Homo-oligomer: A and B are copies of this chain.
Amino acid sequence: MPPVTIQEVARHAGVSAATVSNFFNWPDRLSTGMAERVRSAVDELGFVPNMPARQLRTSRSGMIGLSVINASNPFFAEMVVAVEHAATEKNLSVMVGSTHESPQQQRQYLRMFEQFRFDGIILTPFDDNLQQAHEIAARGTPVVLVDRTDDEGLLPSVGTDHEAGGYLAARHLIEQGCRRLWFVSGPRQVQQMVRRLRGYQKAVDEAGNVSLEVLEFPDLDVGFGREAGRQIADRDPQDRPDGVFGGNDLQAIGIVAELVDAGVDVPGEVAVIGYDDIVFAATTARPLTSIRQPSREIGAAAAEMLFERLLSPSTPAQQQLFQPELQVRASTRR
């Protein structure tokens, strides 16, 4: 059976193709009798509209692309849900892609979004290169940045102040009496890491009598967190840090798990703080102190920003910045 088109439905109902099209798009242009005839023909043949064809004609896809760093990180997962929710209300669908800290993957997804003529794109970039995003926006597909501002001010953005977050983390550790601080980081290209470190460093510098060491890992997941934890536990107690800031909660959770397994006292010997405040932060062996980012609000705000640009593409680019909050739990409370 060949795929059934609008033409066949028309023939079957004894009307023209235009009428069938109107049945779907301008129902009030049909008389009730006609509508009924079309409806039954559609049902009988099991007609399924061909979106690519419709899209070609109307040049609207009803889709928005969402590129995040890692969709299985609960922080991004929540953001995705918020975006989907907002999009559904506007009759839009969301396609999400996880770049897993790979520039090629990011390029790939962006190119795909543009080629499929998505109505708009929300991007969580992780490196410094916004060139592709600028090009796409210039060619007419609205782009909104998340978790990162555009220095050139061309693209709207929403995110949290990572530098402030890093500062909060260090201040808190120092106030708890920590003097030998570590920063366990993801890849250097990830801008967010750089900013958090900058704030962290600032508080360390201000304190004066505090040391800082940075450990870099290729990925921000629980596994590498454990790896970091093991490195800490393996050291002589006097060489260990007494305060550790994990690049995100995934890493911090891994660190805590490994330290506890190794019998290191958390927070007594080593205090640990994370970033994002994901739901699992509160359920670990030592409930994790974390810097909370409002993932849902960020997602919703990004979606709203994008919708505005869909309506009026030429409005100047806004920047929205949320402030992170310190959420204290047992992993740092001495």
Given the complex, which residues of B lie within 8 Å of A80, measured CB to CB? 71-72, 98
A256 interfacial by beta-carbon distance below 8 Å: yes
Q: Mark A60-89, 1 if CB is under 8 A from B, else 0.
A: 010000000001101001101100100000
Which of B53, B71, B95, B282 is within 8 Å of A95, CB to CB?
A: B95
**B115, A98: Cβ atoms closer than 8 Å:** no
Contact (Cβ within 8 A) B279 A117: no
Q: Does A322 contact B (CB under 8 A)?
A: no
Partner of A222, one of B53, B55, B81, B283: B283
* Residues of chain B with a CB closer than 8 A to A46's CB: 135, 139
Q: A52-B52, A61-B52 are in contact. Are A253 and B283 (CB under 8 A)?
A: yes
Within 8 A of B (CB), among A231-286: 253-254, 256-257, 279-280, 282-285
CB distance from A290 to the nearest CB of B (A): 14
Cα–Cα distance between A206 and B71 once the two chains are bound (Å): 42
Chain B proximity mask over A76-119: 1 for CB below 8 Å, otherwise 0: 01101100100000000101101000000000000110111100
Tally of chain A residues near chain B (CB < 8 A): 45
Q: Identify the closest chain B residue to A100 (Cβ).
A: B81
Report how far A194 CA is from B50 CA in the complex, Å: 37
- A245 CB to nearest chain B CB (Å): 18
Chain B positions within 8 Å of A74 at CB level: 72
- Please, which residue of chain B has its CB at the minimum distance from the CB of A260? B283
Contacts of A72 in B (CB 8 A): 71-72, 74, 77-78, 80-81
Q: In the A-B complex, list the 10 residue pairs whose CB atoms are closest, starting with the nearest.
A: A72-B77, A52-B55, A257-B283, A52-B52, A51-B115, A51-B116, A95-B95, A280-B280, A52-B56, A53-B56
A-B contact pairs, 16 of them (CB 8 A): A3-B59, A3-B139, A48-B114, A52-B52, A52-B55, A52-B61, A52-B116, A71-B71, A71-B80, A72-B80, A84-B98, A93-B112, A253-B283, A254-B283, A257-B283, A284-B285
19 other contacts beyond A52-B55, A253-B280, with CB at 8 A cut-off?
A48-B111, A50-B56, A50-B115, A50-B117, A51-B115, A52-B52, A52-B53, A71-B96, A72-B72, A72-B80, A81-B98, A93-B112, A254-B283, A257-B282, A280-B283, A283-B284, A284-B284, A284-B285, A285-B287
